[in-house]
A and B are shown apart, each in its own frame.
Chain A
Amino acid sequence: MAFKGTLIIDTEKCKGCGVCIIGCPQKCIALGKKVNKKGYNHLEIIEDTCIGCANCAVVCPDGVIEVYKVKV
């Protein structure tokens, strides 16, 4: 059974610490070049391989990630 997921990232609250990137098993997120109003390089989805495991959201210190998942 495969799952497909996606994230909604609250980019204005993201502080760009990168702790979530280490926890991602699919390596589908990274810090981008864009900065938010506070000047942090915020998180971006770089690959469409998310499986909705919510590891990134669980470890995020600021709780900026919302995770959605469907069976495919």
Chain B
Amino acid sequence: MTREEIIKPENLVYRRTPVLTDNVMHYCPGCGHGTVHRLIAEVIEEMGIQDKTIGVAPVGCSVLAYNYFDVDFVEAAHGRAPAVATAIKRLHQNHFVFTYQGDGDLAAIGTGETIHACNRGENIVIIFVNNGIYGMTGGQMAPTTLPNMKTSTSPYGRDVEVMGPPLKITELVAQLPGTYYVTRQAVYTPALVRKAKKAIRQAFENQKLNKGVSFVEIVSNCNSGWKLTPVKSNEWLEENMLPFYPLGDIKVPAKEV
């Protein structure tokens, strides 16, 4: 069977979702941001909510997220995405609101907004991409940087005696009464991508129930910041990040009887 015989519209099994625009993403080769963008776009397409979804972009590598999604987007000040999303959701209650944040945005400068939005139980989805570094500004140490991990501002490794231990913000927000669904996923293998997509789908479905914050952390790589090739950085992620940030659901909704 020739290639031309296989390439027919009825045989299509996978294509780039039209919810993403045709712009080439500015992310480094192999960056998990692109995958997470695609997963969110696919979930929006599957649920048929493209015209009533509002995203909130952060400051960080994903600051230009609004160039890649074909949905309404608001750019928030650094770390303030949950606060902006709160306002949008309260004014447009029949819309789906999600924030897309990195670890420097959500776990550093925006810790206050994150914790209070989660504590109030705002009915939003928070997508948190954690790569343990400030990727955009040149690989500085973030609150989520692992102990002894070398960054440009901790060249001898993160010394927990001086700089403190890493912040597990996902476990922290899981303790708050306002969160409904808290999970941690990764996107470096096909199987994990499919699982992460299910988690993002669940988070968006939860928004229909009006129960509170759905918080999805994606442990991702930063091959430029970690000074590794894309494939090597995924191996490093598996060896070093995952023991500290174990994957799985942290808080799941109790089944209603």
- Could you list which residues of chain A lie within 8 angstroms of chain B, going by C-beta atoms? 4-6, 8, 10, 12-13, 15-19, 21-23, 40, 52, 54-70, 72
Contacts and interface: CB of A to CB of B under 8 A. Distances in A.
Contacts, number: 96
A4 B5 CA distance: 11
Interface in B16-34: 16-17, 20, 24-25, 27-34
B11 A19 contact: no
Contacts of A4: 1, 6
Contact of B31 (A5, A61, A66): A61
Given A17-B30, A22-B189, 9 more contacts: A8-B7, A15-B29, A16-B29, A19-B188, A54-B14, A55-B190, A64-B16, A67-B15, A68-B12
A17 B124 CA distance: 33
A6 B7 contact: yes
B189 A59 contact: yes
Contacts of A17: 29-30, 230-231
Given A57-B14, A63-B38, A68-B12, A6 B6 contact: yes
Nearest to A68: B11
Contacts of A70: 1, 5-6, 11
Given A19-B188, A69-B6, A72-B1, A61 B34 contact: yes
A58 B30 contact: no
Main secondary structure of the interface of A (DSSP, over half): mixed
A61 B196 CA distance: 14
B230 A18 contact: yes
Interface residues of B, number: 36
A16 B31 CA distance: 11
A57 B16 CA distance: 9
Nearest to A25: B190
B86 interface: no
A66 B18 CA distance: 13
15 contacts: A8-B7, A12-B24, A17-B30, A17-B231, A19-B30, A22-B189, A22-B231, A23-B190, A52-B13, A55-B190, A59-B189, A61-B38, A67-B15, A69-B6, A70-B6
Contacts of B33: 61
B35 A61 contact: yes
Contacts of B31: 61
Given A17-B29, A40-B29, A66 B234 contact: no
Nearest to A18: B231
Contacts of B30: 15, 17-19, 61
B204 to A, nearest CB: 19
Nearest to B9: A68
B255 interface: no
B44 to A, nearest CB: 14
B15 A66 contact: yes
A62 B34 contact: yes
A68 B7 contact: yes
A6 B13 CA distance: 10
A19 B24 CA distance: 18
A58 B1 contact: no
Contacts of B8: 68
